[in-house]
């Protein structure tokens, strides 16, 4: 509040005082002491007619309570249990089962429907166990929905019986663990998840005696497939033991950063305690005035976006005429246990952003965030937009646009990853991380594998151990094995505040002691979701429409969390849908988005670069890099 500078009298203050009084009554009814103190200061200022500075906005209560000795003892006990169970909470699973079982037991209608379904399945599958009866039935069509049974041999007796009985059991458990009146939806999903894990483990495709493909291969090779499979198992078991004992570097990477992947020429232009900033060598005489500033997730190495030259998004952007900056995160150890999410924001994203703008003479950037990096970018964009609105003379908004790749900002529906997110599970995981100082990459990888155990665990084991076939390595698979660690405090905050509390979407997440809101972001948004994403389900990503008001272009592409983003032009089987929500346009549901936008064949990368070009303000001479700087990919990418 400053005095008028044009000589005119200030407007009457009575309406403002009345508004503050009404707001104080609401805050008093809610018991919001911080807001009451703030409004009292505002009222005193209004009554006195003071033209001094507005009292500072009250800070939110974000700081966690200091742990007590009792907390330390409880954590130690929980850590022992979590270490024995691989980080899973037995209490969470037991609570889910009790809730489901008790409510199912008092639901006679549901029980009757399940009994009828079981009877019908029995009447359909039991006669098939008799060879003569099975031969009278018409041959079953190819089951393309489940690749485990795609081979034609599964249509012959008795293997067709094994398949049909297994699939009937799958369908029955799907029905039994759904729509149980009174049971918590999260508990039903957890029961369904564990039932699927057991069923996938017991699938007939996993056993040599019940898998026709394995038996045929054994006859053809004279059993050599089992010898090769045993060798593969011994190799994997040795590597697992080495990792268990903390020995790193046992597995030789087929694709090495700087040699096979992460080969786009560039320099390390800044190095901090949490990350390095890479700037790539231009390949065009002119570049866009606004650079592209990429914030990858630190859950994996950055070079998911710079794999081999033919599928490198970084190289594609450089060749399209952009100055590209990339953050390369450090792989933290136990000494980094107290680093929080806002440390990654301030010491990582913000510090790197300042360097990128300094190197481009203060020009704004097209910011890009992938996965967890996109969540951090949305936090940073909201914080900077908030500060720019509060102090427009001293703070500017550095973003010409913001692109989020498979990144969630609302965590109310996190998909199957939500099976691992409840208070009990997070208490177990928090205790495990507290004991170690971090969450190890192998522990995270195990959780992600469980989300798609059919393909990532059991089908792979069948192929490598029963058929004796080693999966051919690829750049994407090699990157997936190059795991990182997550500091204790940061990952605990991420899971508790964002996943469990959904603080970012609900306006409770604080930066510099003040809450922020995504609605403050003014930069145009380009948001990418992928159709088969188990980590960031596209319908969850789509929810950003509910928290922003400016132009938002949403693109839904084929593929999963990684393969959908690494979708270079010419990649077979790719398609996407895209539409823009303009300011003040009515909301469209995810189903309406799919229904109203036909798929477009091809990669989504050209569509995105055209969008960036439309939001760039011309070109400048290509920005040369100093020869004295260290070469990309830098040092941090090699930390194990």
* Higher pLDDT among residues 2 and 222, named by residue: 222
**What per-residue confidence (pLDDT) applies to 135?**
54
Q: What is the mean pLDDT of residues 562-579?
A: 93
Calpha distance 191→121 (Å, rounded): 22
Q: Are the C-beta atoms of 369 and 377 separated by less than 8 Å? A: yes
Confidence of residue 127 (pLDDT cuts 50, 70, 90): confident
**What per-residue confidence (pLDDT) applies to 138?**
57
Residue 615 pLDDT > 80: yes
Query: According to the 3-state scheme, what is the secondary structure of 479-508?
Result: HHHCECCEEHHHHHHHHHHHHHCCCCCCCC
Strand partners, 461: none
Tokens representing 438 are 């971090």
Q: What is the mean pLDDT of residues 193-210?
A: 92
For residue 332, give the 3-state DSSP assignment: coil
Residue 575 pLDDT > 60: yes
Choosing from 60, 126, 275, 371, the catalytic residue is 371
Residue 42 pLDDT > 50: no
User: What are the pLDDT digits (tens) for 353-386?
Assistant: 999 999 999 999 999 999 999 999 999 999 999 9
Confidence of residue 167 (pLDDT cuts 50, 70, 90): very high
Confidence of residue 56 (pLDDT cuts 50, 70, 90): very low
**What per-residue confidence (pLDDT) applies to 244?**
67
User: Mean pLDDT across the chain, nearest whole number?
Assistant: 84
Calpha distance 468→465 (Å, rounded): 5
Strand partners, 294: 326, 368
Strand partners, 600: 576
Active site residue 510: no
Alpha-carbon torsion (339, 341, 347, 352), positive or negative: positive
**What per-residue confidence (pLDDT) applies to 224?**
93
Q: What is the mean pLDDT of residues 167-187?
A: 92
> Degrees (nearest 5) of the Cα angle 230, 236, 239?
145
**What per-residue confidence (pLDDT) applies to 2?**
38
Beta strands, E only, 382-480: 399-405, 438-439
Alpha-carbon torsion (325, 441, 561, 548), positive or negative: negative
Confidence of residue 136 (pLDDT cuts 50, 70, 90): low
Q: What is the mean pLDDT of residues 435-462?
A: 78
Strand partners, 527: 404, 554
**What per-residue confidence (pLDDT) applies to 623?**
95
Residue 158 pLDDT > 70: yes
Query: Could you tell me what percent of the chain has a pLDDT over 90?
Result: 55
Q: Are the C-beta atoms of 408 and 495 separated by less than 8 Å? A: no
Confidence of residue 48 (pLDDT cuts 50, 70, 90): very low
**What per-residue confidence (pLDDT) applies to 253?**
63
**What per-residue confidence (pLDDT) applies to 41?**
42
Phi first, then psi: what are they for 215, rounded to 5°?
A: -65, -45
Q: Is the pTM of this model over 0.85?
A: no
Pairing mode, strands 266-271 and 275-280: antiparallel
User: What are the pLDDT digits (tens) for 426-437?
Assistant: 887 787 787 788
Residue 43 pLDDT > 70: no
User: What are the pLDDT digits (tens) for 275-288?
Assistant: 999 999 999 999 99
Q: How many CB atoms lie within 10 A of CB 352?
A: 26
> Which range, of 45-54, 64-73, 264-273, averages the lowest pLDDT?
45-54
**What per-residue confidence (pLDDT) applies to 63?**
54
Q: How many CB atoms lie within 10 A of CB 106?
A: 11
Confidence of residue 345 (pLDDT cuts 50, 70, 90): very high
User: Would you tell me the crossing angle of helices 108-125 and 90-105 to the nearest 10 degrees?
Assistant: 90
Cis peptide before 253 (omega within 30 of 0): no
Of 470, 440, 446, the C-alpha closest to 254 is 470
Q: What is the mean pLDDT of residues 409-422?
A: 83
**What per-residue confidence (pLDDT) applies to 318?**
97
For residue 525, give the 3-state DSSP assignment: strand
Q: How many CB atoms lie within 10 A of CB 94?
A: 11
Q: Are the C-beta atoms of 401 and 615 separated by less than 8 Å? A: yes
**What per-residue confidence (pLDDT) applies to 9?**
38
Strand partners, 554: 527, 579
Give burial (CB, 10 Å; 0-12/13-18/19+) of 461.
middle
Phi first, then psi: what are they for 546, rounded to 5°?
A: -80, -15
Give burial (CB, 10 Å; 0-12/13-18/19+) of 131.
exposed
Count how many Cα atoms sit within 13 Å of the Cα of residue 29 in the half-sphere of its side chain.
Answer: 6
Tokens representing 17 are 């005082």
Which DSSP letter does residue 58 get? P
**What per-residue confidence (pLDDT) applies to 33?**
46
For residue 526, give the 3-state DSSP assignment: strand
């Amino acid at each position: 509040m400053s005095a008028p500078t044009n000589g005119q009298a200030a407007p009457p203050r009575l309406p403002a005082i009345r508004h503050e009084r009404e707001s104080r009554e609401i805050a008093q009814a809610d018991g919001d002491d911080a807001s009451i103190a703030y409004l009292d200061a505002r009222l005193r200022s209004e009554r006195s007619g003071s033209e001094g500075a507005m009292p500072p906005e009250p800070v939110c209560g974000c700081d966690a309570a200091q742990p007590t000795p009792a907390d330390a003892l409880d954590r130690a006990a929980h850590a022992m249990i979590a270490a024995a169970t691989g980080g899973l909470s037995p209490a969470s699973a037991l609570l889910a089962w009790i809730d489901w079982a008790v409510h199912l037991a008092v639901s006679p209608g549901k029980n009757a429907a399940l009994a009828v379904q079981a009877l019908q399945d029995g009447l359909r599958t039991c006669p098939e166990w008799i060879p003569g009866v099975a031969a009278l039935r018409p041959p079953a069509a190819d089951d393309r929905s489940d690749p485990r049974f795609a081979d034609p041999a599964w249509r012959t007796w008795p293997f067709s019986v094994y398949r049909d009985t297994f699939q009937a059991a799958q369908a029955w458990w799907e029905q039994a663990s759904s729509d149980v009146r009174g049971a918590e939806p999260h508990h039903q999903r957890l029961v369904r998840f564990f039932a699927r894990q057991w069923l996938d483990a017991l699938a007939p495709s996993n056993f040599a005696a019940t898998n026709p493909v394995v038996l045929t291969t054994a006859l053809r090779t004279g059993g050599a497939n089992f010898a090769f499979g045993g060798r593969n198992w011994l190799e994997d078991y040795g590597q697992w033991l080495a990792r268990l004992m903390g020995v790193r570097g046992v597995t030789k990477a087929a694709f090495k950063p700087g040699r096979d992947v992460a080969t786009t020429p560039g320099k390390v232009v800044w190095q901090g305690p949490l990350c390095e900033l890479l700037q790539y060598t231009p390949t065009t005489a002119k570049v866009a005035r606004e650079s592209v500033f990429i914030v990858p997730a630190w859950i994996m190495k950055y070079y998911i976006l710079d794999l081999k030259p033919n599928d490198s998004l970084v190289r594609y952007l450089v060749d399209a005429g952009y100055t590209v900056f990339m953050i390369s995160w450090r792989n933290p150890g136990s000494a980094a246990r107290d680093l929080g999410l806002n440390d990654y924001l301030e010491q990582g994203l913000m510090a790197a952003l300042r360097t990128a703008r300094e190197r481009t003479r203060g020009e704004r950037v097209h910011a890009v965030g992938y996965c967890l990096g996109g969540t951090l970018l949305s936090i940073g964009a909201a914080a900077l937009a908030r500060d720019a609105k509060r102090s427009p003379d001293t703070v500017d908004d550095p973003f010409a646009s913001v692109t989020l790749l498979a990144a969630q900002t609302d965590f109310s529906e996190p998909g199957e990853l939500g099976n691992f997110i409840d208070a009990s599970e997070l208490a177990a995981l928090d205790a495990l991380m507290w004991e170690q100082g971090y969450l190890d990459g192998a522990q995270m990888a195990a959780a992600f594998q469980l989300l798609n155990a059919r393909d990532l665990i059991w089908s792979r084991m069948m192929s490598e151990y029963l058929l004796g076939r080693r999966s051919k390595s690829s750049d994407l698979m090699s990157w997936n094995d190059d795991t990182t660690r997550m500091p204790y405090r940061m990952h605990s905050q991420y899971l508790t505040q964002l996943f469990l509390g959904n603080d970012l979407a609900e306006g409770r997440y604080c930066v510099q002691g003040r809450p922020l809101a995504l609605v403050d972001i003014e930069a145009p948004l380009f948001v990418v979701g992928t159709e088969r994403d188990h980590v960031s389900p596209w319908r969850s990503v789509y929810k950003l429409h509910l928290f922003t008001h400016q132009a938002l272009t949403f693109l839904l592409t084929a593929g999963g969390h990684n393969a959908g983003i690494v979708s270079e032009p010419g990649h077979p089987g790719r398609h996407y849908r895209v539409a823009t929500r303009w300011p003040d346009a009515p909301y469209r549901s995810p189903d309406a988005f799919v229904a109203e936008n036909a798929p477009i064949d091809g990669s989504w990368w050209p569509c995105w670069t055209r969008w960036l070009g439309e939001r760039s303000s011309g070109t400048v001479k290509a920005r040369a890099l100093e020869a004295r700087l260290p070469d990309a990919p830098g040092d941090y990418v090699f930390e194990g």
